[in-house]
Amino acid sequence: MFGAIYRLPEQIEEAVSKMEYSIAQFKASLVRTIVITGLGGSAVGGDMLRSYAADKCPVPIFVNRGYTLPSYVGKDTLVIAVSYSGNTEETLSAYADAKRRGAQVVAVTSGGILKKQAWADGYVVVTVPGGLQPRAAAGYLFIPQMLLLQKAGLLPDCGEEITETVRVLYEMRLRLAPQVKSEHNLAKRIASRLFGKIPLIHGATGLTETIAYRWKTQLNENAQTVAFAHSYPELNHNEIVGFDVPLELIEKIEIITLTSNHNHPRVQKRIEITMGEVLANTACGRYELPAQGASELAQMFSLLYVGDYVSAYLAVLYGLDPTPVDKIVQLKNRLA
């Protein structure tokens, strides 16, 4: 897992330079809606694209995590079916649903049934390198989706943002990699804060909400701990009322707030008030983590990168191997 996390900037570079994207098969001018369908580590790229593209893409983007597609899916929908293994039953079922309804389909996968079927059906197939855990392939799974939309004229040119993202990640890993001692390694220090605690990751509607959820799922799968995520401004309308629970419960919670200077200014104000006054007399731990870089893309990936390392370091603190997810495999086998 550590090797795969370390190589995130290389994944992004490879996705730009080595993978092939042909959009010949789909008619971008007909696309009125985009639905990205996938589960777990294969859905995170869709979440990121939805957040990133919200103010850039002329058509709405939805992320679907189930067996069927919403009723609005039809010929004018671009469905991007993402499954790293190519064998996830929910995604295969949603893919079949897309085909049945005559949607324009793109498959993003390293192989499996999805690749075979999508080839046979004549759809666009983006093949990503295999051999990783799906959740460790975020660069391979996200960048192709972004470039496909760019190529289709549904997103503006994102070349400069990708270049900045890669540069920021290369710089960050000099400070986050395993050989860097805790005093200088932010991810190791955050992992120590989370040790023995229930992580509660806060983001904000827009860029960081998605990344807060990614932290939660990485903490689940890599560190094998329960974890929760919520986002501003919504959490100001419910969750803050819940911090008056008994001390022995509240002191188990460690809040990590992911911040970005792309947040709405009122959201920034809300974070200040919440972290200061609202939580002032509660015993939960709290820590604010600002994004690195200037562009939206670099900021998203910088926060994701810290979270990936934190979850792997927390696994080590718990004496666990961050790579295998036996429970997920067992459940899939049980359903087979």
- Chain positions contacting ligand F6R, by CB under 6 A: 39-42, 83-85, 88, 91, 133-135, 221, 325, 328
Task: Pick the closer one to ligand F6R by CB: 83 or 185.
Answer: 83
Rg (alpha carbons) of the chain, rounded to whole number: 20
Amino acid at 232: Y
Element (H, E) at 304: helix 296-317
Could you write out the three-class secondary structure of 35-88? EEECCHHHCHHHHHHHHHHCCCCCCCEEEECCCCCCCCCCCCEEEEEEECCCCC
Burial of 208 (0-12, 13-18, 19+ CB in 10 A): buried
Q: Which is nearer to ligand F6R, 107 or 154 (CB)?
A: 107
Residue reference for tokens 């498959």: 107
User: Can 75 be counted among the known catalytic residues?
Assistant: no
Least Å distance between CB 136 and ligand F6R? 7
Nearest distance in Å: CB 39, ligand F6R = 4
Residue 79 phi, psi (nearest 5): -105, 120
**31: helix, strand or coil:** coil
Whose Cβ is closer to ligand F6R: residue 204's or residue 314's? Answer: 314
Q: Is 14 a catalytic residue?
A: no
What gap in Å lies between CA 118 and CA 107, rounded to an integer?
7
Please, what is the minimum distance in Å from the beta carbon of residue 14 to ligand F6R? 18
Nearest distance, CB of residue 182 and ligand F6R, angstroms: 26
To ligand F6R, the closest distance from the beta carbon of 265 in angstroms equals 35
Residue 28: which residues within 8 A CB-CB, separation 6 or more? 78, 152, 153, 154
Is 219 in contact with 194 (CB distance < 8 Å)? yes
Helix 159-176 to helix 296-317 angle (10° resolution) is 30
Task: Confirm if 172 and 298 have CB atoms less than 8 A apart.
Answer: no
Give yes or no: 237 in active site: yes
Q: How far is the CB of 296 from ligand F6R (least distance, A)?
A: 24
Looking at the Cβ atoms of 110 and 260, the one nearer to ligand F6R is 110
Residue nearest to ligand F6R (CB): 40
Q: Which of 221, 230, 254, 296 is catalytic?
A: 221
Choice between 44 and 154, CB closer to ligand F6R: 44
Name the catalytic one among 18, 20, 237, 248.
237
CA distances for 5 relative to 248, 270, 285, angstroms: 35, 32, 27
Which C-beta is closer to ligand F6R: that of 78 or that of 325?
Answer: 325
Give the catalytic positions in this structure. 221, 237, 332
